[in-house]
């Protein structure tokens, strides 16, 4: 009897021999039911990992999350989830999560338990005390009204509403050192795209990739890092598109591409510059597009000198200050200055770190540019461009990048053959482009190319920036960033302009949509300070603390080391392994008075004092460390409501499915109640430093067992309302007279008609590919930005095949498939009158409406402070001498942070460079997420990628005696790590300039904690920054590799120091301009 | 287990999946799977023309057959009331300031 019940026998002897019906059933399976079928409800949500923004269905039974699946209605993900998204159930409900508050007293050896209420009171005490002890009314004689004693880091994994409360509360407390992952991931995107086009976000959306005829993926392993978004590349390929992958490694993206182009990490400007040269020399640019929609015809100042004239420097470089004056880069007859980022008019403040605001939202311009539409004047942008890139020949590309001329020619051919009126090509990139000491210029080069080829604002065209956190776009838009206010309005600098009028009036933009900045800023001040803010008191503009330079996360580390910064909030970010030069991050934290870590579990940034690498080496002793550490468990996305902004500017709402368990709470809860407690403590204070805090609008409705602030109320404040409490329909409704309130002007419209537009979920199959009724995107729900350029100057589509938005003469308005990114009734033939201002100053053929001249910028007269045109420079640490500018090895304006723990490797042909002979690049894996806090603790994911490894070629393995599966030690002047050796032809040696260059690939997800421990790649990297964005260079640096495990204990720093000594490394190595 | 023909016959008679499933004593999602070969929850691999030609296929949103208890509100009256009250309070405070 038992034998007959054996399934295979039952199948073969029964009526269902193919095993597709009754044969697969048994008494046991008959008693089973799917978790989805038994659920009490299905709650709509969004994946919390990368920024593709895959929609999720969260199944709840008995007030517990029992299952998470992809939502098939989503136009972006179409029901799919990647391995991380599929592991969301384990992330949110698994055993790794902590639900208790932990406390480490100063100098203690271990954690203690603490109840949440006590912890909140203690944290409020620390904030109040530190703030009072470090309060600074003035700095160098200029009013600052701030504290430099407190800093905050994190926000990209959080909701927009949470970022909003973080920024609002901390700013009112006078804290300026507010930063998040956007700084270290995509800040250079904002500069590169913003300066070129006027807005710093990706210009298109993932679904539109399907319309591309040629997709160049460079600086991204799209298929593995953003797998669900990659389906749209495959759709394009199925329609006949050519897919090209330019990357040091052959990955799954390469395997699915038509062409893989191995390239030396860090040489992309030379590669792209070579294509620019090919396009110009062969007259392959889209002439009508270029003449009408870019600044190609604009004449530049006679005083401008190019890097080709000055041996690698542009005119205006000051070697003492190590930065440029952009005076000679101006349009002839005009001055172009930052519209949104340099408004305080203090030239001494025109220093690095400001370009994110400039780049984000374009420039202001005085005067009318001179143009030569024949494009023959030697001073016109096109001719300058031609001269600048004339030496970027295929031979130079080979010498610099290691790409053979025939392979390079193939890329050029595909790209140019698939650009023009009938065809479009798209560039896709990620942090492989952004994380360089000139990362902003990597992106600028692609912008130049796409403008020349006429691929902007058109279906299948544009530049897709793949961001890596669920709401990293949102944490830029509603910025937990030191230099920005919501909507890319700059934080004011301390200077002579202490009034609102002074701030708004200096260099006031008269042209383009930034002319309405007073309405944006005053509405923000009304949202924050309500009735306290009125015209008579400058809308409390003086309640904003002031900047005095850069206060980025890396500057904060130095401030911790020198004792200035004493208290630190880590809100879902793990700098102890995730930021450059991890050792300096930990040493900085070891010098704090207090540290608050909010996360799902004990990440490395919470435990470094107990078991960090410096404890093992003896560089730190637990009992000597006075930092008081609070660990507060965080709520998961399934336990709170809020919106994420995906990589394409789309706000998608996720609903709370259940209440968080134990003492886990949302950031919304934490910030609201921290603010409430502090305000209660300080109630009645007459100290002027407390006025901004006590005047804050902080009356959000609460709900649930934990008194959670209602996230939708915060969204409503972000959207804004008029004086009658009617939600505003869009930013055009904002007023500068104090009658409107709006927490973030670019998000105005997300709560139009009192409807949470971000929560809309009309199924994809009921809409066209734009899917305008799925969620909401800024600006004004436009999905493909600059789409006026999809039509000819006369308003007709360039071609039937590529039509998107066009002028309807009968209706007298722009129409089409997407919301026009243009004034709806402005005719193509409109030309501004003399002296026109604001939007009226833009003509009917100015698609880039945030730019003062309405044009796409091939040449950047302002906004990118390390040069108006991208130029190839070597990374800070490079085994290669700069083939283009042998006497200008590195970007002269890069930011350096000299420190004994941040020394540079010798480069090129400098003595000692041979001791760091290989190029290292870092990257992401499908199964892990950023610094590992959301993946190394998830059993499914930890099991799929269990160990830190390094990829090396068989040739390098032979050269260094490395064996597949054994250990290797990788060494730089900062530190050394160990990793398992993966010998693979995926990372091939490159032949360039008469030498062979080997590259080493390192995933960056590891750290000592979790189920899959390993050394962090960021132990090796240095703090060397792009001066525009303050992003760190971790995608290309040099190192050595040797077989075997790294030394333990004090022998590890001894190894690093010994290598420094042998290489002759000093504090001055690599520090020249 | 009902056959594909049984489900399609009920659909041809004008019944929806919910009613057809009720009559056949199975869940609606299963009725959909039997009729079309495509799971209603979107976990299908059948795409393109092969999928479109299948009788019984719903043009959109078949997941409502398996996920009937969906929570996805797009607005809250209490929030709208809070917004109005906040604006009213600010108006009142501004008026008081002007008077005083």
Residue A354 has pLDDT above 60, yes or no: no
Nearest to A36 among B41, B76, B91 (CB): B41
* Chain A residues 510-549 within an 8 A CB cutoff of chain B: 530-531, 534
**Element (H or E) spanning A392, and its range?**
none
Q: Does A763 touch chain B (CB under 8 A)?
A: yes
**What's the whole-number mean pLDDT along residues A591-595?**
98
Cβ–Cβ under 8 Å, residues A990 and A999: yes
* pLDDT tens by residue, A390-428: 999 999 999 999 999 999 999 999 999 999 999 999 999
Among candidates A514, A491, A490, A518, which has minimal Cα distance to A504? A518
Q: How far apart are alpha carbons A530 and A438 in whole angstroms?
A: 41
Strand runs labelled E in A105-207:
112-113, 135-139, 142-153, 175-179
- The yes-or-no verdict on residue A923 having pLDDT over 90 is yes
Q: Flag if B63 and A41 touch (Cβ within 8 Å).
A: no
Partners of A42 on chain B (C-beta within 8 Å) are: 67, 69-71
Question: At residue A1055, what are phi and psi to the nearest 5 degrees?
Answer: -60, -45
DSSP B59: S
Please, are residues A877 and A905 in contact by the beta-carbon 8 Å criterion? yes
Radius of gyration of chain B (CA): 25
> A194, A362 in Cβ contact below 8 A?
yes
Confidence grade of residue B100 (pLDDT, cut at 50, 70, 90) = low
- What is the per-residue pLDDT across A991-1023, written as a single tens digit (0 to 9) for each? 998 899 999 999 999 999 999 999 999 999 999
DSSP-derived secondary structure letter, A747: G
Query: How does strand A135-139 pair with strand A995-997?
Result: unpaired
Could you tell me how far CA A478 lies from the centroid of its own chain?
13
Q: What is the pLDDT of residue A497?
A: 67
Q: What is the pLDDT of residues A317-353, one digit of tens each?
A: 999 999 999 999 999 988 766 444 444 444 434 444 4
Residues of A in contact with B95 (CB under 8 A): none
In B, what residues contact A, Cβ < 8 A? Answer: 1, 27, 29, 41-43, 59-61, 63, 66-67, 69-76, 78-80, 82-91, 93-94, 97
Contact A44 B76 (CB under 8 A): no
Which chain B residues are Cβ-neighbours of A530 within 8 angstroms? Answer: 86, 89-90, 93
Tell me the mean pLDDT in the region A821-831: 97
Taking only the tens place, the pLDDT of each residue in A92-126 is 999 999 999 999 999 999 999 999 999 999 999 99
Q: Which residues in chain B are contacts of A22 at CB distance < 8 A?
A: 1
CB contact at 8 A, A950 and A1041: yes
Nearest to A42 among B27, B67, B78 (CB): B67
Q: Which residues pair with A650 in a beta bridge?
A: A777
In this structure, are strands A967-971 and A1037-1043 parallel, antiparallel, or unpaired? antiparallel
Residue A883: CB atoms within 10 Å: 21
In what helix (H) or strand (E) does residue A669 lie, and over which residues does it extend? helix A667-682
What pLDDT sits at residue A345? Answer: 41
Q: Residues 765 to 794 of A: which have CB under 8 A from any B CB?
A: 765-766
Instruction: Encode burial over A576-603: b for 16+ CB neighbours within 10 A, e otherwise.
Output: bbbbbbbbbbbbbbbbbbbbbbbbbbbb
Reference A1046, options A1037, A1038, A1056, A1057; nearest CA is A1056
Contact B86 A530 (CB under 8 A): yes
Measured CA to CA, the distance from residue A179 to residue A182 in angstroms comes to: 8
Contact A701 B82 (CB under 8 A): yes
Q: Report the largest interatomic distance among the alpha carbons of chain A, rounded to a whole angstrom.
A: 98
Of A1034, A1046, A1021, which Cα lies nearest the Cα of A582? A1021
Judging contacts by C-beta atoms under 8 Å, the chain A residues touching residue B75 are: 712, 754-756, 759
Lookup result for tokens 């004011």: A492
CA A516 to chain centre: 26
Q: How far apart are the C-alpha atoms of A523 and A517, rounded to whole Å? A: 10
Closest Cα in chain B to A44: B72
CB-based contact, A209 to chain B, within 8 Å: no
Minimum distance, in Å, between the CA of residue B22 and any CA atom of chain A: 16
What is the H or E stretch that residue A952 is in? strand A949-952
Averaged pLDDT, A758-782: 96
pLDDT digits (tens, 9 = 90+) for A632-673: 999 999 999 999 999 999 999 999 999 999 999 999 999 999
Indicate if the pLDDT at residue A963 is higher than 80: yes
**A22/B contact by beta carbon, under 8 A:** yes
State the pLDDT at residue A346. 43
- Distance in Å, alpha carbon of A45 to nearest chain B alpha carbon: 9
Count of helix runs (H) and strand runs (E) in chain B: 5, 1
What is the C-alpha to C-alpha distance for residues A890 and A313, in angstroms, rounded to an integer? 10
Q: Is residue A241 a contact partner of residue A214, using CB atoms and an 8 Å limit?
A: yes
Interface test mutation site (partner B, options A161, A525, A754, max chain B beta carbons within 10 A): A754
A72:B42 CB<8 A: yes
Q: Which two tokens mark A815?
A: 């129409």
Would you say A431 and A185 are in contact if contact means Cβ atoms under 8 Å apart?
yes
pLDDT computed for residue A25 by the predictor:
79
Minimum Cα–Cα distance from A25: chain B residue: B1
Q: Which residue has the higher pLDDT, A10 or A973?
A: A973
Please check whether residue A718 touches B, CB under 8 A: no
Of B70, B74, B76, which has the smallest distance from its Cβ to A42's Cβ? B70
CA distance A235 to A210: 5
State the DSSP code for A728: P
**Could you report the per-residue pLDDT of A252-274, keeping only the tens digit for each?**
999 999 999 999 999 999 999 99
pLDDT digits 0-9 by tens, A546-556: 999 999 999 99
pLDDT above 60 for A453: yes
Name the region of B28 (left: φ>0; alpha: ψ -120 to 50; beta: rest): alpha
State the CB neighbour count (10 A cutoff) for residue A181: 31
Candidates A712, A725, A739, partner chain B, best to mutate (most B CBs within 10 A): A725
Of B1, B72, B86, the CB nearest to A725: B86
Helix axes A582-589, A604-611, angle to 10 degrees: 80
Per-residue pLDDT at A455 exceeds 90: yes
CB contacts, 8 Å: B94 with chain A: 531, 534
| CA dihedral for A943, A945, A950, A954, sign (positive or negative) | positive
Closest Cα of chain A to B58: distance in Å? 10
Find residues 23-42 of chain A whose CB sits inside 8 Å of chain B.
36-37, 39-42
B71 and A44 in contact (C-beta within 8 Å)?
Answer: yes
Q: Look up the ipTM and state it.
A: 0.93
CA atoms within 13 A on the CB side of A390: 10
> Scanning the structure block, which residue is given the tokens 């419209």?
A749
Using left for φ > 0, alpha for ψ between -120 and 50, and beta otherwise, residue A134 falls in alpha
**Token pair for A828:** 């193509």
How many A-B residue pairs are in contact by the CB < 8 A criterion?
Answer: 120
Of B27, B42, B72, the CB nearest to A761: B72
Share of chain A above pLDDT 90, in %: 90
Chain B positions touching A21 (Cβ under 8 A) are 1
Complete DSSP assignment for A88-99: HHHHHHSTT---
- Asked if the Cβ–Cβ distance from B42 to A763 is below 8 Å, we say no
Kind and range of the H or E element at A466? none
DSSP-based three-state secondary structure for A729: coil
Q: Rounded to an integer, what distance in angstroms lies between the CA atom of residue A239 and that of residue A234?
A: 9
Check whether A506 has a pLDDT greater than 90. Answer: no
Nearest-by-Cβ selection for A21 from B1, B75, B93: B1
User: What is the spatial distance between Cα A321 and Cα A343, in angstroms, rounded to a whole number?
Assistant: 22
For residue A363, pLDDT over 80 is answered with: no
The CA distances from residue A1057 to A23, A284, A1053, in Å, are 69, 53, 6
pLDDT above 70: residue A873: yes
Give the closest of A701, A716, A759 to B73, CB-based. Answer: A759
A801's CB contacts (< 8 A; 6+ apart) are A422, A423
Say if A169 is an interface residue toward chain B (CB within 8 Å).
no
Measuring CA to CA, which residue among A189, A179, A231, A194 is closest to residue A210? A231
Neighbours of B16 (CB within 10 A): 14
Distance, CA of A736 to CA of A863 (rounded, Å): 26
Going by C-alpha positions, the residue among A990, A879, A921 that lies closest to residue A402 is: A990
Give yes or no for residue A366 having a pLDDT over 80.
Answer: no
- As beta bridge partners, residue A394 has none
What's the distance, CA A587 to chain centroid?
A: 25
pLDDT at A759 over 90: yes
A765:B69 CB<8 A: no
Query: How far does chain B reach from its first CA to its final CA, in angstroms?
Result: 80
Please report, in angstroms and rounded to a whole number, the separation of the first and last CA atoms in chain A.
85
What confidence category does residue A364 fall into, taking pLDDT thresholds of 50, 70 and 90?
Answer: low
Distance, in angstroms, between A419 CA and closest chain B CA?
Answer: 28
Alpha helices (H) in A536-659, listed in sequence order: 553-561, 575-578, 582-589, 604-611, 613-617
- Spatial separation of the C-alpha atoms in residues A190 and A463, rounded to whole Å: 12
Cα–Cα distance measured from residue A922 to residue A1006, given in angstroms and rounded to the nearest whole number: 12
**Confidence tier at A387 by pLDDT (50, 70, 90):** very high
Name the more confident of A199 and B50: A199
Distances (CA, A) of A100 to A117, A183, A845, A939, A1052: 12, 30, 59, 21, 35
A722 interaction partners in chain B (CB closer than 8 Å) = 87
pLDDT at A37: 86
Residue A425 near residue A449, CB atoms below 8 Å: no
pLDDT-wise least confident of A30-44, A275-289, A443-457: A30-44
Q: Do A41 and B83 touch (CB under 8 A)?
A: no
Q: Which residues of A touch B66 (CB under 8 A)?
A: 36-37
Nearest CA in chain B to A712: B79
pLDDT at residue A562, as a whole number: 97
A1: Cβ contacts below 8 Å, ≥ 6 apart:
none
CB-nearest to B88 from A78, A725, A754 is: A725
What does the angle CA A813 – CA A818 – CA A823 come to, to the nearest 5 degrees?
Answer: 40
Rounded Cα–Cα distance for residues A273 and A911 (Å): 30
Q: Name the closest residue on chain A to residue B2, using Cα atoms.
A: A21
Q: Are A127 and A442 in contact (CB under 8 A)?
A: no
Q: How many CB atoms lie within 10 A of CB A979?
A: 25
Report the 10 Å Cβ neighbour count for A765.
15
| Interface test mutation site (partner A, options B1, B32, B67, max chain A beta carbons within 10 A) | B67
Interstrand relation of A41-46 and B70-71 (parallel, antiparallel or unpaired): parallel
Tell me if A144 sits within 8 A of A561, measured CB to CB: no
- pLDDT for residue A362 is more than 80: no
Q: Is the pLDDT of residue B50 over 70?
A: no
């Amino acid at each position: 009897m038992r034998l007959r019940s054996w399934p295979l026998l039952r199948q073969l002897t029964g009526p269902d021999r193919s095993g597709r019906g009754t044969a697969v059933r048994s008494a046991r399976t008959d008693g089973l039911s799917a978790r989805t079928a038994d659920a009490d409800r299905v709650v709509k949500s969004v994946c919390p990992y990368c920024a593709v923004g895959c929609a999720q269905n969260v199944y709840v039974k008995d007030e517990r999350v029992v299952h998470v699946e992809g939502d098939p209605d989503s136009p972006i993900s179409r029901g799919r989830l990647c391995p991380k998204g599929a592991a969301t159930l384990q992330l949110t409900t698994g055993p790794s999560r902590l639900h208790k508050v932990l406390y480490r007293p100063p100098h203690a050896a271990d954690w203690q338990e603490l109840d949440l209420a006590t912890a909140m009171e203690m944290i409020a005490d620390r904030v109040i005390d530190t703030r009072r002890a470090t309060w600074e009314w003035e700095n160098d004689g200029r009013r600052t009204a701030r504290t430099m004693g407190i800093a905050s880091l994190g926000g990209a994994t959080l909701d927009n509403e949470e970022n909003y409360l973080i920024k609002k509360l901390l700013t009112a407390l006078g804290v300026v050192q507010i930063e998040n992952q956007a700084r270290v991931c995509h800040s250079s995107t904002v500069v590169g795209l913003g300066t070129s086009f006027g807005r710093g976000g990706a210009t298109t959306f993932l679904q539109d990739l399907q319309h591309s005829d040629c997709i160049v993926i460079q600086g991204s392993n799209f298929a593995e890092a953003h797998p669900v978004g990659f389906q749209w590349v495959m759709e394009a390929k199925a329609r006949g598109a050519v897919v090209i992958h330019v990357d040091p490694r052959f990955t799954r993206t390469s395997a699915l591409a038509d062409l893989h182009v191995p390239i030396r990490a860090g040489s992309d400007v030379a590669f792209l510059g070579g294509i620019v040269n090919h396009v110009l020399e062969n007259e392959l640019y889209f002439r009508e597009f270029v003449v009408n929609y870019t600044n190609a015809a604009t004449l530049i100042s006679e005083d401008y000198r190019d890097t080709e004239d000055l041996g690698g420097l542009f005119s205006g470089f000051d070697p003492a200050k190590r930065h440029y004056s952009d005076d000679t880069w101006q349009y002839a007859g005009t001055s172009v200055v930052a519209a949104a980022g340099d408004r305080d008019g203090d030239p001494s403040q025109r220093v690095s770190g400001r370009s994110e605001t400039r780049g984000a939202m374009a420039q202001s311009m005085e005067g009318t540019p001179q143009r030569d539409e024949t494009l023959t004047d030697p001073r016109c942008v096109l001719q300058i461009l031609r001269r600048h890139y004339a030496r970027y020949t295929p031979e130079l590309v080979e010498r610099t990048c290691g790409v053979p001329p025939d392979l390079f020619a193939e890329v050029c051919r595909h790209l140019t053959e698939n650009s023009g009126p009938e065809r479009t090509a798209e560039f896709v990139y990620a942090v492989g482009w952004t994380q360089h000491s000139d990362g902003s210029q990597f992106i600028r080069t692609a912008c130049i190319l796409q403008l020349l080829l006429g691929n902007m604002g058109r279906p299948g065209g544009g530049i897709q920036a793949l961001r890596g956190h669920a709401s990293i776009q949102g944490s830029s838009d509603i910025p937990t960033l030191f230099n920005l206010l919501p909507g890319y309005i700059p934080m004011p600098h301390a200077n002579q302009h202490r009034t609102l009028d002074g701030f708004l009036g200096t260099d006031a933009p008269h042209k383009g949509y930034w002319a309405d900045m007073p309405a944006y800023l005053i509405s923000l001040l009304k949202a924050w300070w309500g009735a306290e803010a009125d015209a008579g008191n400058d809308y409390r503009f003086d309640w904003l603390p002031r900047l005095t330079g850069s206060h980025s996360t890396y500057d904060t580390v130095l401030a911790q080391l020198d004792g200035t910064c004493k208290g630190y909030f880590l809100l879902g970010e793990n700098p102890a392994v995730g930021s450059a030069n991890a050792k300096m991050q930990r040493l900085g934290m070891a010098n704090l008075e207090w540290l608050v870590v909010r996360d799902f579990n004990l990440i490395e940034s919470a435990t470094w004092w107990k078991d960090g690498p410096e404890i093992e080496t003896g560089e730190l002793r637990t009992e000597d460390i006075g930092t008081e550490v609070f660990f507060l468990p965080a709520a998961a996305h399934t336990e709170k409501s809020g919106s994420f902004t995906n990589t394409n500017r789309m706000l998608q709402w996720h609903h709370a499915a259940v209440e968080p368990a134990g003492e886990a709470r949302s950031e919304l809860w934490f910030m609201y109640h921290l603010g409430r407690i502090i305000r209660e403590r300080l109630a009645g204070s007459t100290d002027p430093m407390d006025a901004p805090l006590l005047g804050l609008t902080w009356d959000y409705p609460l709900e649930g067992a934990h008194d959670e602030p209602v996230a939708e109320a915060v969204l409503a404040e972000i959207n804004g309302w008029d004086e009658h409490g009617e939600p505003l329909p869009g930013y055009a409704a904002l007023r500068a007279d104090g009658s409107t309130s709006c927490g973030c002007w670019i998000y105005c419209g997300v709560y139009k008609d009192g409807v949470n537009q971000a929560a809309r979920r009309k199924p994809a199959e009921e809409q066209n590919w734009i899917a305008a009724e799925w969620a909401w995107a800024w600006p004004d729900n436009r999905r493909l930005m600059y789409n006026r350029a999809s039509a000819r100057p006369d308003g007709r589509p360039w071609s039937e095949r590529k039509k998107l938005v066009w002028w309807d003469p009968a209706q007298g308005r722009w129409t089409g498939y997407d919301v026009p990114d243009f004034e709806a009734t402005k005719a193509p033939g409109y030309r501004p009158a003399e002296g026109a201002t604001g939007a009226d100053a833009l003509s009917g053929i100015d698609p880039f409406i945030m730019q003062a001249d309405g044009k796409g910028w091939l040449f950047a007269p302002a906004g990118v402070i390390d040069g108006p045109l991208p130029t190839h420079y070597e990374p800070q640490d490079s085994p290669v001498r700069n083939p283009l500018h042998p006497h200008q090895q590195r970007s002269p304006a890069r930011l350096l942070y000299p420190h004994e723990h941040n020394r540079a490797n010798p480069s090129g042909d400098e003595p000692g460079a041979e001791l760091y002979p290989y190029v290292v690049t870092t990257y992401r894996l499908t199964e892990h997420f950023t610094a590992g806090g959301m993946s190394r603790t998830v059993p499914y994911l930890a099991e799929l990628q269990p160990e830190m490894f390094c990829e090396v070629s068989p040739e390098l393995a032979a050269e260094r005696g490395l064996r597949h599966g054994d250990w290797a030690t990788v060494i730089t002047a900062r530190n050394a790590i160990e990793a398992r050796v993966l010998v693979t032809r995926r990372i091939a040696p490159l032949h360039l300039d008469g030498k062979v260059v080997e590259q080493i690939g390192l995933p960056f997800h590891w750290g000592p904690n979790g189920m899959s421990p390993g050394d962090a790649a960021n132990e090796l990297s240095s703090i060397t920054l792009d001066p525009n964005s303050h992003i760190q260079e971790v995608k290309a640096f040099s190192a050595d590799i040797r077989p075997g495990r790294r030394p333990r204990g004090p022998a590890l720093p001894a190894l690093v120091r010994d290598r420094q000594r042998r290489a002759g490394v000093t504090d001055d190595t690599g520090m020249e301009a | 287990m009902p056959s594909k023909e049984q489900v399609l016959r009920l659909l041809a008679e004008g019944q929806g999946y919910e009613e057809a499933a009720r009559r056949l004593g199975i869940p609606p999602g299963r009725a959909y799977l039997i009729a079309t070969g495509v799971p209603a929850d979107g976990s299908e691999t059948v795409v393109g023309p092969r999928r479109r030609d299948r009788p019984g296929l719903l043009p959109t949103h078949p997941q409502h057959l398996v996920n009937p208890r969906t929570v996805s509100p797009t607005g809250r009256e209490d929030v709208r009331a809070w917004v109005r009250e906040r604006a009213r309070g600010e108006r009142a405070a501004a008026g008081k300031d002007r008077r005083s």
